[in-house]
Amino acid sequence: MATSRARRMLGHLESRKNLAGSACGVVGLGLTLAGVAGAYWPVVIAGLYGAGALIAPPERVVVPPFDPSEEVGALRADFTRLKEYLGEVELPMTPGAGWEGLLELYGALLEPGWVAEVLATEPEAVHALSRAIRRDVPECVDTYNRTRWWNRLTPGGESPERHLERQLDLLYEEAERVTADLREAEARRQQTHTAYLEERGRS
């Protein structure tokens, strides 16, 4: 604790605000010795120190380095847990891509290798995939099972299966959009390199 207090004190002494305030305080001391400050010399020195501390730029706190690949790795682990969860619950057969197509698409995007590396460079894509895997899919399954139970007690109304089918379609469409955006990013990268080579050739 004492070490921490000493570190904070040393940090204050070395701070820009203290250095700027001290420099202005030295000016005030010079004015005092020159007889300009008169009887108010303590106020002048303190005032100049405070003014210097106020005008000094704030200390820049270094931003910690974040590795985007770590987020993709954590998301991959959550996706594995999601598949285990889906294997334990009772789900209806769905037409179209259904569960199998959706999970295959998620798995392909998160597969270790260059595709996941491209994914890691696109924060919006990572966010969309994270939201789907960590929140949307579990919510779809949980609400389906709960609603189905209530529907057995009081039949009628729109079937839970229909809602689940629509939710799966929407999630699959979103995953396809993410895939298309990643493909477009790679296409732009290729076009940029082509333009660079052409420009270099002209020069």
Whether the predicted pLDDT of 174 surpasses 80 = yes
Instruction: Provide the pLDDT for residue 202.
Output: 85
- As a whole number of angstroms, the distance between CA 5 and CA 13 comes to 12
- The DSSP 8-state label assigned to residue 64 in this structure reads P
Instruction: Provide the pLDDT for residue 39.
Output: 66
Whole-angstrom CA distances from 181 to 15, 22, 125, 187, 190 are 46, 55, 8, 10, 14
- As a whole number of angstroms, the distance between CA 22 and CA 9 comes to 15
Mean pLDDT for 153-172 is 86
Percentage above 70 pLDDT, the chain? 65
Task: Write down the pTM of the prediction.
Answer: 0.65
Instruction: Provide the pLDDT for residue 1.
Output: 47
Residue pLDDT, tens place only, 1-51 = 455 565 665 555 556 666 666 776 666 666 666 666 666 666 666 766 676
Residue pLDDT, tens place only, 71-84 = 899 999 999 999 99
Instruction: Provide the pLDDT for residue 3.
Output: 59
| Mean pLDDT (the chain, rounded) | 80
- As a whole number of angstroms, the distance between CA 107 and CA 36 comes to 77
